[in-house]
Amino acid sequence: MDVNLQFWSTEGKSFFQRFLHWADILDPTTLLKSNEEIEKSRLLLQTGAQTLQEPLRDKKVKQAWKLSLSSVHPGTGEIIPLVFRPPAFLPLVTPLVFASLLPQRGAKQAFIWQFLFHAYAAGFTIANGNATAKTEETALPQKLPEKQLLLSTGAISYAACIGAFPHFVMTQNRVNNPSMQTFFRKILPIPLLACLTAFNVMIVRGTECENGIEVMDKNGKVVGVSQKAGLKAVQETALSRAAFFGTAVIIPESLLYFLQRTNFLLSNPHTLTPLRLLMTVSALGALLPVSFSVFPQLGEIKRDDLEKEILTSTEETVLFYNRGV
C-alpha cells in the first residue's frame, strides 16, 4: 500500500480529520516546491517507519506528508502534473466557473468557456483517478488511452454544448420576459453545472467501472480487481463534485439576489461583478476541502458486495480501495 493511502487509513477515519488535513494539503504554496524536494519527502516517509505511526508530531515529517499528499498519485507513486495537483484546482477552476456563469454575448462565447471548464475538470479527474493497472483479460494497455481520450473528448464536448444551451436560447429567441431571463440566466445554469460535472466524472473515469479497480485488505495486500468497487469509487467522486459546484454557485447567487433587492446594489451597480467574484471565490475556497472530505480517500466496501471470485480469495469482511479525487 502506498504511503499516502497508509496515511489516510490512520488519519482519515472521520470527516473532521479529513477536512483539517485537506485544508492544509490544498495550500497553493506547495506548487512552488520542486520535484526534487517532493522526491526527498517521499523517501523520508518510505524509509522512516516511525513517520507512519506518528505522522504529524515532527515538523519536518509533517511537511513531507503535506508535499506527498498534495503532489504524488497514491496509485502510481508518480508526481502529478503541476496544473492537475489538488492545490492547483481552486486557482485554475475559479476563473473558469466565474466566466462560464457570466452573461455572454453569444452562444459561441458561452461554449468556449464551458469547453475550457469541462476540459480542465476532465484533466484533473484523469490525473487524480484510480490508476489500477489493467490486465490482458480486462483491457489492452496500449488501447486504453485511446478509448479514454475518445470518451473524454466526447464528454467534454457534450457537456460544453449542454452548458451553453441557456445562452443559445437567450440569443436565438431574444427572450424579453423578465421571468424567463431570470430562469435561463440565473436558475437553469446552476443545476446544469452540477449535473454536467457529475456526468464528466462518470464518463471520464468510466474505464474504472468497466475494468474494475484493485481492492486490498487492511494490510494493503491486493486481493483482486472489482468492477463494483470501481463503480462505487466513481459514484462517490461524481456526487461530491456535483454537490461542490452546485452549492458553491448557488450560495453567492442567492446572496446577490437578496442584495439586489436592497438599495445597496441599486445605488452601486458597478459593484455587482466584483462582489459576485468575491463571493464565488469565497464559496469555492470554503467548500473545496469539504468536497474532498465527504467520502474517505481510502474507501471501504463489504466483501459480500463484491464479485464471487473475490469472495473466495479472502476471508476479510471489509476491503479497501483508492477512491481518487
Of 156, 123, 147, 153, which Cα lies nearest the Cα of 208?
147
Most confident residue range from 20-24, 46-50, 217-221: 20-24
Q: In what order do the strands lie in the sheet with 298-302?
A: 222-226, 213-216, 318-322, 298-302
Question: Is 79 a residue whose pLDDT tops 50?
Answer: yes
- What is the structure's pLDDT at 139? 39
93-102, 116-125, 183-192, range with greatest mean pLDDT: 116-125
Question: Per-residue pLDDT averaged across 231-257, rounded?
Answer: 94
| Least confident piece of the model among 41-45, 144-148, 212-216, 271-275 | 144-148
Asked if residue 14 has pLDDT above 50, the reply is yes
- pLDDT score, position 264: 64
First CA to last CA across the chain, in angstroms? Answer: 17
Rounded to whole angstroms, the Cα distance separating 149 from 260 reads 44
SS3 165: helix
Reported as type and span, the H/E element at residue 214 is: strand 213-216
pLDDT at 93: 96
Q: Give the mean pLDDT of the chain.
A: 87
Label residue 177 exposed, middle or buried (CB < 10 Å: 0-12, 13-18, 19+).
exposed
- Three-state SS for 149? helix
CB atoms within 10 A of CB 140: 11
Which amino acid is present at 61? Answer: V
Indicate the pTM of the whole model: 0.91
- Residue 145 DSSP one-character state: H
Using CA atoms, how far apart are residues 160 and 154, in angstroms rounded to an integer?
Answer: 10
CB 301 within 8 A of CB 228: yes
DSSP 321: E
Under 8 Å CB-to-CB from 272, ≥6 apart: which residues?
256, 260, 265
Query: Exposed, middle or buried, 257 (CB in 10 Å: 0-12/13-18/19+)?
Result: exposed
Alpha-carbon radius of gyration of the chain:
22
Question: What is residue 72's DSSP assignment?
Answer: B
Report pLDDT for 262.
74
